[in-house]
Amino acid sequence: MEQPLKSAAALSPAAASSSQVSHLTLLQQVRAGDQQAFGVLVSELFPTVYRAALRVLRQEQEAEDVAQDVFMKIWGDPPELRAEANLKAWSARVATNGAIDRLRKKKPDISDDLPDQVDPAVAADGALQADEAADAVQQAIDGLPERQRLALVLTYYEGLPNKEAADLLEVSVDALESLLARARRALKAALSEQWQGLLEDFAQGGQNGEGSWKTI
Amino acid sequence: MTKATELGRLKDVLDAYGANPDNWPEDEREQLEAIASDHETEVTAWVEEARQLDAVLNLVPEANVPDGAVDRMLAKVTKPPSAPVVDLQAARSKHARPRGGFDLRQAVPVGIAMAASLMVGVLAGLSDLTASYIPNTGTIVLANAGQGAVGDNLIGFESFTLAEGDLQ
């Protein structure tokens, strides 16, 4: 009788240790119909996939739907990846692509016609919550014109190569760089009043930065 | 490439991708790092500005994964294909004959057809009668009963009727 499927967190220690096995090995097991291996894979990849979709779509339920599509694909038709391939990166890209497609269906005219400034309503709301540095920055990003926001999300947060991000947005690399530069300028302008406070927050080890920069 | 062009490109890259060379276009990275190093004094302010913005962007936390999302996902994705849903009660009422062997729904069209035949016969007989009373106008014509005639849809063929004035 087939055992109920469990996530990695719910697996026995022995089974959980299999999460150390490489993703590609797990993928081979999934290809052979091993549901347990699939459970481990989902547990390990889900946060990456979900966050990639959420960054683009900004709606939890839709991000879950995109993640479901990604794992449906992995389960139903496991990708043939080369030995050196990174399944985590692959699944994040598939999620990002799926999220962009979904966004495009909702907003066929993802436009960048808006002026280079953050949505005033969002900025005002952000100003009210200036004590929450992360919220202020997130809201400023959310207030960017859609293509500027997506350019920033794809290159800065998702780390896509510029050519790949440009392809996803259906623009040239030059246009992508223009979107990025405008996005960054707009963010700085929107957050100008809180700027020093934000930098201090970062210096104290806020969120992802851990208070350090890579130097060039 | 002139110095101005090199510095201009470095400025554009810093403005677009930030201060971390890992985020710069791969095919230009090495050259741009060398330019930044060669012209450190001139580019310090640009780099610092880009770093500050990177720092602010890094304040955004990773989103939390909703509770139970992984288990919901596993349940949905690996759910075996469901068998076609059959509404047994509906199927039974649609196909089964009523007890007693008499199916009213089958009897209705038969009855209508019989009634139509009867009507044709009556009209044919009537034509003989009227012909005897009104010799010069006693022609029965076959005419469409027209839209909305009650019998059209039920009987499924054209109704017989009398031409206007035939029975006057």
Please indicate whether residue A85 or residue A137 has the higher confidence score (pLDDT): A137
pLDDT in tens, chain B (168 residues): 788 889 999 999 999 999 999 999 999 999 999 999 999 999 999 999 999 999 999 998 888 899 999 998 888 887 765 655 555 555 555 544 444 445 555 666 767 777 777 777 777 666 555 544 444 444 444 444 444 444 344 333 344 444 444 444
User: What pLDDT sits at residue B77?
Assistant: 82
Q: What is the pTM of this model?
A: 0.62
Distance between CA atoms of residues B8 and A172, nearest Å: 19
Structure tokens at A17: 């240790």
DSSP 8-state class, residue B36: H
Distance between CA atoms of residues A56 and B149, nearest Å: 62
Q: Check pLDDT > 60 for residue A178.
A: yes
CA-closest candidate to residue B63, choices A124, A210, A52: A52
Distance between CA atoms of residues A141 and A118, nearest Å: 8
CB distance from A37 to chain B under 8 Å?
Answer: no
CATH no. for A8-106: 1.10.1740.10
- Residue of chain A minimizing CA distance to B19: A216
Quick check: do A8-106 and A120-206 share a fold?
no
CA-closest candidate to residue A91, choices A99, A83, A103: A99
Contacts of B42 (CB under 8 A, 6+ apart): B7
pLDDT tens, residue by residue, A179-211:
999 999 999 999 998 888 888 888 776 555 443
Amino acid at A185: R
Domain coordinates in residue numbering, chain A:
8-106, 120-206
Distance between CA atoms of residues A56 and A66, nearest Å: 11
DSSP 8-state class, residue A209: G
- C-beta contacts of B117-121 below 8 A and 24+ residues apart: B119/B159, B119/B160, B120/B160
Specify the length of chain B in residues. Answer: 168
A120-206: what fold? Answer: Arc Repressor Mutant, subunit A (1.10.10)
CB distance from B142 to chain A under 8 Å?
Answer: no
Contacts of B162 (CB under 8 A, 6+ apart): B123, B140, B141
B57 contacts in chain A (CB < 8 Å): 137, 141, 152, 156-157, 187
Specify the length of chain A in residues. Answer: 216
CA angle A160, A105, A142 (to 5 degrees): 55
A214 contacts in chain B (CB < 8 Å): 19-22
